[in-house]
Amino acid sequence: MYTFPDMLILMRKKQNSEKQLRERLKRLRENLRMTQKELAKEFYVTTGAINHWESGKRTIPGPAKKLIEVYEKILVSRRERDGDI
**What pLDDT, in 10s, does the model give residues 8-32?**
566 666 666 889 999 999 999 999 9
Q: What is the pLDDT of residue 75?
A: 87
Contact 72, 24 (CB under 8 A): yes
Read out DSSP for 2-25?
--HHHHHHHHHHHHHHHHHHHHHH
Task: Give domain limits for the chain.
Answer: 4-82
Q: What is the pLDDT of residue 12?
A: 66
pTM for the full model?
Answer: 0.77
CA angle, 71 as apex, 36 and 48 as ends, to 5°?
Answer: 20
Please say if the pLDDT value at position 6 is more than 90: no
Please say if the pLDDT value at position 85 is more than 60: no
Per-residue pLDDT band for 79 (boundaries 50, 70, 90) equals: confident
CATH match for 4-82 among 1.20.1440, 1.10.3470, 1.10.8, 1.10.260: 1.10.260
| Helices and strands of the chain, counted as H and E runs | 4, 0
Task: With CA atoms as reference, report the closest residue to 49 among 29, 69, 33.
Answer: 29
